[in-house]
Amino acid sequence: QVHLTESGGGSVQAGGSLRLSCAASGYTHDNYCRGWFRQAPGKEREGVATIDSDGITVYADSVKGRFTISQDNAKNTLYLQMNSLKPEDTAMYYCAADLTGTTGDFCFTLYNELDAWGQGTLVTVSS
């Protein structure tokens, strides 16, 4: 059974940094497309950053240059380094993965078809 467990969320002031982690069990992070998504109160879920099986990354325009997705294969953990945080980054952040290749290299936009989701970790950025 696949489990994705996020950690690293918290409350920071604008301009601060956080690193989110997504530890996986029952699944290997480099198989198919996987990444980070977020949902702010009253808003729809959106893609933040994803990485596909070839290591190609996709970022939301709003986080380009500030966020970096990476992974540690030995630890089977996916990371999201978030720098220069803004109040508009406040959201619940979720790790998710395609377990079967359904989304190809397009899980950034096809996130509704992703098979596995973590429980989320809350990020709050104050001004």
Nearest to 27 by CA among 107, 89, 100: 100
Residue 29 has pLDDT above 90, yes or no: no
pLDDT, tens only, 44-67: 999 999 999 889 999 999 999 999
Residues 32 and 61: their CA atoms lie apart, in Å, by 23
pLDDT, tens only, 70-87: 999 899 999 999 999 999
Residues 85 and 123: their CA atoms lie apart, in Å, by 10
Residues 91 and 75: their CA atoms lie apart, in Å, by 26
Nearest to 26 by CA among 97, 82, 94: 97
